[in-house]
Protein backbone atom coordinates (compact mmCIF):
# COMPACT_ATOMS: atom_id res chain seq x y z
CA UNK A 1 0.00 0.00 0.00
CA UNK A 2 1.43 3.37 -0.96
CA UNK A 3 0.25 6.77 0.02
CA UNK A 4 0.08 9.15 -2.91
CA UNK A 5 -2.02 11.14 -5.36
CA UNK A 6 -5.16 10.01 -7.14
CA UNK A 7 -3.32 9.22 -10.40
CA UNK A 8 -1.43 6.48 -8.67
CA UNK A 9 1.90 8.23 -8.34
CA UNK A 10 3.54 7.98 -4.98
CA UNK A 11 5.15 10.78 -3.12
CA UNK A 12 8.82 10.10 -2.33
CA UNK A 13 9.49 9.36 1.31
CA UNK A 14 5.90 8.50 2.16
CA UNK A 15 5.91 4.80 1.37
CA UNK A 16 4.59 2.71 4.22
CA UNK A 17 6.18 -0.69 4.42
CA UNK A 18 4.16 -3.11 6.49
CA UNK A 19 6.14 -5.04 9.00
CA UNK A 20 5.78 -8.74 9.33
CA UNK A 21 4.58 -10.23 12.57
CA UNK A 22 7.37 -11.96 14.46
CA UNK A 23 7.19 -15.67 15.05
CA UNK A 24 5.80 -16.17 18.57
CA UNK A 25 8.62 -17.13 20.85
CA UNK A 26 8.31 -20.54 22.46
CA UNK A 27 7.52 -20.45 26.19
CA UNK A 28 10.98 -21.62 27.31
CA UNK A 29 14.16 -19.96 26.10
CA UNK A 30 16.55 -21.54 23.64
CA UNK A 31 18.97 -22.55 26.35
CA UNK A 32 16.15 -24.12 28.31
CA UNK A 33 15.09 -26.09 25.28
CA UNK A 34 18.65 -27.29 24.70
CA UNK A 35 19.08 -28.21 28.34
CA UNK A 36 15.82 -30.09 28.62
CA UNK A 37 16.43 -31.80 25.28
CA UNK A 38 19.81 -32.96 26.46
CA UNK A 39 18.38 -34.21 29.74
CA UNK A 40 15.55 -36.03 28.02
CA UNK A 41 17.96 -37.47 25.48
CA UNK A 42 20.21 -38.82 28.20
CA UNK A 43 17.21 -40.20 30.05
CA UNK A 44 15.97 -41.87 26.89
CA UNK A 45 19.39 -43.40 26.27
CA UNK A 46 19.39 -44.78 29.80
CA UNK A 47 15.92 -46.28 29.42
CA UNK A 48 16.78 -47.72 26.02
CA UNK A 49 19.89 -49.32 27.45
CA UNK A 50 17.97 -50.87 30.30
CA UNK A 51 15.24 -52.13 27.95
CA UNK A 52 17.83 -53.58 25.59
CA UNK A 53 19.49 -55.34 28.52
CA UNK A 54 16.18 -56.86 29.59
CA UNK A 55 15.41 -58.03 26.06
CA UNK A 56 18.84 -59.53 25.52
CA UNK A 57 18.58 -61.34 28.85
CA UNK A 58 15.37 -63.05 27.72
CA UNK A 59 16.75 -64.11 24.32
CA UNK A 60 18.97 -67.20 24.62
CA UNK A 61 22.48 -66.75 23.28
CA UNK A 62 23.36 -69.72 21.00
CA UNK A 63 27.10 -69.36 21.61
CA UNK A 64 26.84 -68.25 25.18
CA UNK A 65 27.57 -71.53 26.90
CA UNK A 66 30.64 -70.06 28.54
CA UNK A 67 30.14 -68.85 32.10
CA UNK A 68 29.66 -65.09 32.56
CA UNK A 69 32.76 -63.17 33.45
CA UNK A 70 33.06 -61.61 36.85
CA UNK A 71 31.84 -57.99 36.83
CA UNK A 72 34.91 -55.77 37.12
CA UNK A 73 35.82 -52.16 36.70
CA UNK A 74 34.77 -52.33 33.05
CA UNK A 75 31.15 -52.69 34.20
CA UNK A 76 31.33 -49.14 35.56
CA UNK A 77 32.23 -47.63 32.19
CA UNK A 78 28.72 -47.12 30.77
CA UNK A 79 27.58 -45.36 33.93
CA UNK A 80 30.71 -43.28 34.04
CA UNK A 81 30.26 -42.22 30.42
CA UNK A 82 26.73 -41.21 31.19
CA UNK A 83 27.87 -39.21 34.21
CA UNK A 84 30.47 -37.41 32.09
CA UNK A 85 27.81 -36.57 29.52
CA UNK A 86 25.53 -35.16 32.21
CA UNK A 87 28.34 -33.07 33.67
CA UNK A 88 29.25 -31.80 30.19
CA UNK A 89 25.67 -30.88 29.49
CA UNK A 90 25.46 -28.92 32.76
CA UNK A 91 28.63 -26.97 32.07
CA UNK A 92 27.66 -26.27 28.47
CA UNK A 93 24.33 -24.94 29.65
CA UNK A 94 26.02 -22.69 32.18
CA UNK A 95 28.37 -21.32 29.51
CA UNK A 96 25.48 -20.68 27.10
CA UNK A 97 23.49 -18.93 29.82
CA UNK A 98 26.42 -16.74 30.74
CA UNK A 99 27.10 -15.81 27.13
CA UNK A 100 23.47 -15.02 26.47
CA UNK A 101 23.27 -12.79 29.57
CA UNK A 102 26.39 -10.81 28.69
CA UNK A 103 25.76 -10.56 24.98
CA UNK A 104 22.34 -9.00 25.51
CA UNK A 105 23.82 -6.00 27.35
CA UNK A 106 26.68 -5.63 24.88
CA UNK A 107 24.38 -5.77 21.86
CA UNK A 108 22.06 -3.20 23.43
CA UNK A 109 24.96 -0.82 24.16
CA UNK A 110 26.56 -1.23 20.76
CA UNK A 111 23.30 -0.88 18.85
CA UNK A 112 22.22 2.36 20.55
CA UNK A 113 23.97 4.97 18.34
CA UNK A 114 21.95 6.15 15.30
CA UNK A 115 24.74 5.41 12.90
CA UNK A 116 24.92 1.83 14.06
CA UNK A 117 21.16 1.45 13.80
CA UNK A 118 21.26 2.82 10.27
CA UNK A 119 24.03 0.41 9.38
CA UNK A 120 22.14 -2.48 10.89
CA UNK A 121 18.90 -1.65 9.06
CA UNK A 122 19.62 -3.91 6.02
CA UNK A 123 20.48 -6.71 8.40
CA UNK A 124 17.27 -6.16 10.34
CA UNK A 125 15.25 -6.13 7.12
CA UNK A 126 16.88 -9.37 6.14
CA UNK A 127 16.07 -10.87 9.51
CA UNK A 128 12.44 -9.81 9.16
CA UNK A 129 12.34 -11.40 5.73
CA UNK A 130 13.66 -14.69 7.06
CA UNK A 131 11.33 -14.48 10.00
CA UNK A 132 8.33 -14.13 7.66
CA UNK A 133 9.60 -16.99 5.56
CA UNK A 134 9.96 -19.16 8.66
CA UNK A 135 6.47 -18.28 9.81
CA UNK A 136 4.92 -19.31 6.51
CA UNK A 137 6.97 -22.44 6.06
CA UNK A 138 6.57 -23.52 9.65
CA UNK A 139 2.80 -23.53 9.32
CA UNK A 140 3.01 -25.88 6.38
CA UNK A 141 5.63 -28.06 8.08
CA UNK A 142 3.53 -28.38 11.22
CA UNK A 143 0.46 -29.29 9.21
CA UNK A 144 2.38 -31.97 7.38
CA UNK A 145 3.76 -33.33 10.63
CA UNK A 146 0.31 -33.38 12.19
CA UNK A 147 -1.00 -35.37 9.26
CA UNK A 148 1.94 -37.75 9.30
CA UNK A 149 1.99 -38.60 13.00
CA UNK A 150 -1.37 -40.45 13.09
CA UNK A 151 -0.32 -42.47 10.05
CA UNK A 152 2.95 -43.45 11.69
CA UNK A 153 1.22 -44.34 14.97
CA UNK A 154 -1.36 -46.43 13.16
CA UNK A 155 1.27 -48.21 11.12
CA UNK A 156 3.38 -48.95 14.19
CA UNK A 157 0.33 -50.16 16.13
CA UNK A 158 -0.73 -52.45 13.30
CA UNK A 159 2.77 -53.91 13.07
CA UNK A 160 2.89 -54.51 16.82
CA UNK A 161 -0.54 -56.16 16.82
CA UNK A 162 0.46 -58.34 13.88
CA UNK A 163 3.40 -59.63 15.92
CA UNK A 164 1.25 -60.62 18.90
CA UNK A 165 -0.01 -64.17 19.35
CA UNK A 166 -3.38 -63.48 20.92
CA UNK A 167 -4.28 -67.14 21.30
CA UNK A 168 -1.15 -67.72 23.35
CA UNK A 169 -1.80 -64.59 25.41
CA UNK A 170 -5.37 -65.62 26.15
CA UNK A 171 -4.25 -69.12 27.05
CA UNK A 172 -1.90 -67.65 29.65
CA UNK A 173 -4.75 -65.84 31.44
CA UNK A 174 -5.76 -67.95 34.47
CA UNK A 175 -9.50 -67.74 33.86
CA UNK A 176 -10.27 -70.62 36.21
CA UNK A 177 -8.37 -68.99 39.06
CA UNK A 178 -10.08 -65.66 38.43
CA UNK A 179 -13.52 -67.30 38.33
CA UNK A 180 -12.74 -69.22 41.53
CA UNK A 181 -11.74 -66.03 43.32
CA UNK A 182 -15.07 -64.31 42.51
CA UNK A 183 -17.50 -64.47 45.41
CA UNK A 184 -20.74 -64.88 43.52
CA UNK A 185 -22.83 -65.02 46.68
CA UNK A 186 -21.44 -61.70 47.89
CA UNK A 187 -22.23 -60.10 44.54
CA UNK A 188 -25.76 -61.47 44.56
CA UNK A 189 -26.22 -60.20 48.11
CA UNK A 190 -25.19 -56.73 47.03
CA UNK A 191 -27.79 -56.73 44.24
CA UNK A 192 -31.27 -55.88 45.46
CA UNK A 193 -33.02 -58.51 43.36
CA UNK A 194 -36.27 -57.96 45.23
CA UNK A 195 -36.10 -54.26 44.45
CA UNK A 196 -35.35 -54.90 40.79
CA UNK A 197 -38.28 -57.32 40.49
CA UNK A 198 -40.54 -54.96 42.42
CA UNK A 199 -39.58 -52.02 40.23
CA UNK A 200 -40.02 -53.87 36.97
CA UNK A 201 -43.35 -55.31 38.08
CA UNK A 202 -44.60 -51.90 39.19
CA UNK A 203 -43.49 -50.40 35.90
CA UNK A 204 -45.30 -53.10 33.93
CA UNK A 205 -48.46 -52.68 36.00
CA UNK A 206 -48.38 -48.93 35.58
CA UNK A 207 -48.00 -49.24 31.81
CA UNK A 208 -50.99 -51.59 31.67
CA UNK A 209 -53.09 -49.25 33.80
CA UNK A 210 -52.03 -46.30 31.64
CA UNK A 211 -53.10 -48.17 28.52
CA UNK A 212 -56.54 -48.84 29.99
CA UNK A 213 -56.90 -45.24 31.14
CA UNK A 214 -55.84 -44.01 27.72
CA UNK A 215 -58.56 -46.11 26.15
CA UNK A 216 -60.99 -44.56 28.64
CA UNK A 217 -60.04 -41.05 27.51
CA UNK A 218 -60.56 -42.09 23.91
CA UNK A 219 -64.02 -43.48 24.67
CA UNK A 220 -64.87 -40.30 26.63
CA UNK A 221 -63.98 -38.12 23.65
CA UNK A 222 -65.85 -40.36 21.24
CA UNK A 223 -68.99 -40.34 23.42
CA UNK A 224 -68.87 -36.57 23.78
CA UNK A 225 -68.53 -36.16 19.99
CA UNK A 226 -71.51 -38.44 19.32
CA UNK A 227 -73.73 -36.67 21.87
CA UNK A 228 -72.70 -33.23 20.66
CA UNK A 229 -73.53 -34.23 17.09
CA UNK A 230 -76.95 -35.50 18.17
CA UNK A 231 -77.53 -32.22 20.02
CA UNK A 232 -76.40 -30.31 16.90
CA UNK A 233 -73.57 -28.58 18.73
CA UNK A 234 -70.98 -26.91 16.57
CA UNK A 235 -68.32 -26.02 19.13
CA UNK A 236 -66.27 -28.61 21.02
CA UNK A 237 -66.64 -28.97 24.76
CA UNK A 238 -64.68 -26.75 27.10
CA UNK A 239 -63.14 -29.21 29.55
CA UNK A 240 -60.58 -26.83 31.01
CA UNK A 241 -60.88 -24.53 33.98
CA UNK A 242 -62.03 -20.96 33.52
CA UNK A 243 -59.52 -18.33 34.59
CA UNK A 244 -60.88 -16.52 37.62
CA UNK B 1 -42.80 -40.87 38.93
CA UNK B 2 -43.10 -42.56 35.56
CA UNK B 3 -43.87 -40.29 32.65
CA UNK B 4 -47.10 -40.68 30.67
CA UNK B 5 -46.17 -41.93 27.22
CA UNK B 6 -49.26 -41.10 25.21
CA UNK B 7 -49.23 -37.47 24.12
CA UNK B 8 -53.04 -37.29 23.99
CA UNK B 9 -53.25 -38.61 27.54
CA UNK B 10 -50.61 -36.14 28.72
CA UNK B 11 -52.59 -33.26 27.26
CA UNK B 12 -55.78 -34.53 28.91
CA UNK B 13 -54.29 -34.33 32.40
CA UNK B 14 -56.05 -31.66 34.45
CA UNK B 15 -59.02 -31.54 32.05
CA UNK B 16 -62.55 -32.46 33.15
CA UNK B 17 -63.14 -36.17 32.63
CA UNK B 18 -65.75 -37.49 30.23
CA UNK B 19 -68.89 -39.49 30.90
CA UNK B 20 -67.58 -43.03 30.47
CA UNK B 21 -64.64 -42.57 32.84
CA UNK B 22 -66.81 -40.89 35.46
CA UNK B 23 -69.52 -43.51 35.14
CA UNK B 24 -67.07 -46.42 35.47
CA UNK B 25 -65.42 -44.65 38.40
CA UNK B 26 -68.78 -44.19 40.10
CA UNK B 27 -69.63 -47.84 39.45
CA UNK B 28 -66.37 -49.01 40.98
CA UNK B 29 -66.95 -46.75 43.99
CA UNK B 30 -70.42 -48.24 44.39
CA UNK B 31 -68.87 -51.71 44.27
CA UNK B 32 -66.39 -50.67 46.95
CA UNK B 33 -69.26 -49.41 49.13
CA UNK B 34 -71.17 -52.67 48.72
CA UNK B 35 -68.01 -54.65 49.52
CA UNK B 36 -67.48 -52.64 52.70
CA UNK B 37 -71.15 -53.14 53.62
CA UNK B 38 -70.77 -56.89 53.09
CA UNK B 39 -67.56 -56.96 55.16
CA UNK B 40 -69.17 -54.96 57.96
CA UNK B 41 -72.12 -57.33 58.13
CA UNK B 42 -69.81 -60.36 58.08
CA UNK B 43 -67.70 -58.95 60.93
CA UNK B 44 -70.84 -58.15 62.87
CA UNK B 45 -72.13 -61.71 62.42
CA UNK B 46 -68.78 -63.15 63.50
CA UNK B 47 -68.63 -60.98 66.61
CA UNK B 48 -72.20 -61.95 67.46
CA UNK B 49 -71.21 -65.58 67.10
CA UNK B 50 -68.23 -65.06 69.42
CA UNK B 51 -70.00 -63.05 72.09
CA UNK B 52 -73.37 -64.81 72.22
CA UNK B 53 -74.63 -68.36 72.28
CA UNK B 54 -76.20 -68.06 68.86
CA UNK B 55 -74.82 -70.11 65.94
CA UNK B 56 -73.15 -68.22 63.08
CA UNK B 57 -75.55 -66.68 60.57
CA UNK B 58 -74.94 -63.88 58.09
CA UNK B 59 -76.91 -60.83 59.28
CA UNK B 60 -79.99 -60.02 57.23
CA UNK B 61 -80.98 -56.45 58.08
CA UNK B 62 -84.22 -55.07 56.77
CA UNK B 63 -84.33 -52.73 53.73
CA UNK B 64 -84.36 -49.52 55.77
CA UNK B 65 -81.50 -50.55 58.04
CA UNK B 66 -79.54 -51.83 55.08
CA UNK B 67 -80.01 -48.49 53.31
CA UNK B 68 -78.84 -46.64 56.42
CA UNK B 69 -75.72 -48.80 56.67
CA UNK B 70 -74.96 -48.32 52.98
CA UNK B 71 -75.60 -44.58 53.30
CA UNK B 72 -73.28 -44.20 56.28
CA UNK B 73 -70.51 -46.29 54.73
CA UNK B 74 -70.87 -44.57 51.36
CA UNK B 75 -70.84 -41.03 52.76
CA UNK B 76 -67.93 -41.80 55.09
CA UNK B 77 -65.88 -43.38 52.31
CA UNK B 78 -66.52 -40.73 49.66
CA UNK B 79 -66.32 -37.78 52.05
CA UNK B 80 -62.94 -38.77 53.45
CA UNK B 81 -61.60 -39.64 50.01
CA UNK B 82 -62.75 -36.47 48.23
CA UNK B 83 -61.76 -34.08 51.00
CA UNK B 84 -58.36 -35.74 51.32
CA UNK B 85 -56.60 -37.03 48.25
CA UNK B 86 -59.59 -36.35 46.01
CA UNK B 87 -59.60 -39.97 44.90
CA UNK B 88 -62.21 -42.52 45.92
CA UNK B 89 -61.12 -46.13 45.21
CA UNK B 90 -62.90 -46.41 41.86
CA UNK B 91 -61.66 -43.04 40.68
CA UNK B 92 -58.13 -43.92 41.73
CA UNK B 93 -58.22 -46.94 39.40
CA UNK B 94 -59.20 -44.74 36.46
CA UNK B 95 -56.82 -41.91 37.39
CA UNK B 96 -59.58 -39.42 38.21
CA UNK B 97 -59.58 -36.83 40.96
CA UNK B 98 -62.33 -34.70 42.42
CA UNK B 99 -61.22 -31.10 42.80
CA UNK B 100 -62.81 -27.76 43.46
CA UNK B 101 -64.22 -25.51 40.76
CA UNK B 102 -60.85 -23.75 40.58
CA UNK B 103 -58.85 -26.94 40.23
CA UNK B 104 -57.65 -26.98 43.82
CA UNK B 105 -58.48 -29.44 46.57
CA UNK B 106 -62.17 -29.74 47.37
CA UNK B 107 -63.13 -28.33 50.75
CA UNK B 108 -64.40 -30.73 53.41
CA UNK B 109 -67.87 -29.14 53.45
CA UNK B 110 -68.35 -29.43 49.71
CA UNK B 111 -66.94 -32.97 49.76
CA UNK B 112 -69.47 -33.94 52.44
CA UNK B 113 -72.48 -32.64 50.52
CA UNK B 114 -71.20 -34.14 47.28
CA UNK B 115 -70.94 -37.53 49.04
CA UNK B 116 -74.45 -37.23 50.52
CA UNK B 117 -75.92 -36.24 47.16
CA UNK B 118 -73.99 -38.97 45.33
CA UNK B 119 -75.19 -41.75 47.65
CA UNK B 120 -78.80 -40.52 47.74
CA UNK B 121 -79.03 -40.35 43.94
CA UNK B 122 -77.12 -43.65 43.53
CA UNK B 123 -74.55 -41.88 41.38
CA UNK B 124 -77.03 -41.20 38.61
CA UNK B 125 -76.09 -37.52 38.61
CA UNK B 126 -73.13 -38.52 36.48
CA UNK B 127 -75.53 -38.83 33.54
CA UNK B 128 -75.55 -35.04 33.26
CA UNK B 129 -71.96 -35.21 31.99
CA UNK B 130 -73.35 -36.57 28.72
CA UNK B 131 -75.13 -33.33 27.87
CA UNK B 132 -73.00 -30.82 29.75
CA UNK B 133 -70.86 -28.54 27.58
CA UNK B 134 -68.18 -28.60 30.28
CA UNK B 135 -68.40 -32.27 31.28
CA UNK B 136 -70.06 -31.31 34.57
CA UNK B 137 -72.13 -33.78 36.52
CA UNK B 138 -75.11 -32.83 38.65
CA UNK B 139 -72.85 -32.99 41.71
CA UNK B 140 -70.32 -30.65 40.12
CA UNK B 141 -73.04 -28.09 39.39
CA UNK B 142 -74.57 -28.26 42.87
CA UNK B 143 -71.37 -28.59 44.93
CA UNK B 144 -68.96 -26.55 42.81
CA UNK B 145 -66.60 -29.40 42.08
CA UNK B 146 -64.99 -31.01 39.06
CA UNK B 147 -63.69 -34.45 38.18
CA UNK B 148 -60.42 -34.28 36.26
CA UNK B 149 -57.97 -36.70 34.71
CA UNK B 150 -55.01 -36.86 37.05
CA UNK B 151 -53.10 -40.10 36.57
CA UNK B 152 -50.18 -39.07 38.69
CA UNK B 153 -50.40 -37.81 42.25
CA UNK B 154 -50.41 -34.08 41.62
CA UNK B 155 -53.02 -31.40 41.54
CA UNK B 156 -53.28 -29.16 38.46
CA UNK B 157 -50.94 -26.23 38.81
CA UNK B 158 -50.88 -22.72 37.48
CA UNK B 159 -54.46 -22.02 38.39
CA UNK B 160 -55.33 -18.77 40.12
CA UNK B 161 -56.18 -18.65 43.79
CA UNK B 162 -59.86 -18.50 44.56
CA UNK B 163 -62.00 -18.35 47.67
CA UNK B 164 -64.87 -19.93 45.84
CA UNK B 165 -63.85 -23.37 47.05
CA UNK B 166 -63.23 -22.47 50.66
Model ipTM value: 0.80
pLDDT score for A208: 87
Pairs of residues, one from chain A and one from chain B, whose beta carbons lie less than 8 Å apart: 78
pLDDT tens digit sequence for A68-99 = 556 677 778 877 887 888 888 888 878 878 88
The Cα–Cα gap between A210 and B22 comes to 16
Contact A241 B159 (CB under 8 A): yes
The Cα–Cα gap between A17 and B1 comes to 72
pLDDT tens digit sequence for A66-76 = 565 566 777 78
The Cα–Cα gap between A229 and B8 comes to 22
pLDDT score for A234: 85
Contact A213 B94 (CB under 8 A): yes
Low-confidence ranges of chain B (pLDDT < 50): 155-166
What length is written for chain B? 166
Please check whether residue B9 touches A, CB under 8 A.
yes
The Cα–Cα gap between A89 and A104 comes to 22
pLDDT at A2 over 70: no
- Arithmetic mean of pLDDT, A223-243: 85
Q: Could you tell me the pLDDT band of residue A12, with boundaries at 50, 70 and 90?
A: low
**pTM (global) more than 0.80:** no
Please check whether residue B128 touches A, CB under 8 A.
no
pLDDT at A64 over 80: no
Please check whether residue B2 touches A, CB under 8 A.
yes
pLDDT score for B68: 93
Contacts of B8 (CB under 8 A, 6+ apart): A214, A217, A218
d(CA B97, nearest CA chain A) in Å: 13
pLDDT score for B160: 39
* Residues of A whose CB is below 8 A from B6: 210, 214
Amino acid sequence: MAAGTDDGRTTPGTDVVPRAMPVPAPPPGVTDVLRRSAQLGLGAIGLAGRAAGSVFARVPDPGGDAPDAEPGIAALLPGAVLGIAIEAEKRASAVVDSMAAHSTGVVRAVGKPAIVQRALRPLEDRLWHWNELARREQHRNQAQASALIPVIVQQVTENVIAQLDFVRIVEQIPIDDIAASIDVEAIVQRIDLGGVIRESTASLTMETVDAVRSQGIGVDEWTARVVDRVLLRKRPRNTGFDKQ
Amino acid sequence: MKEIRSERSREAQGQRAGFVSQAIGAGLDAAAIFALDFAALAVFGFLRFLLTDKSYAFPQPGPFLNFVILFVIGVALLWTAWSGSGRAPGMAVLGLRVVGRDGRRLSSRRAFWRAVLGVLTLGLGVLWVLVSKKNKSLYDIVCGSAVVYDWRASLPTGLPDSRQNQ
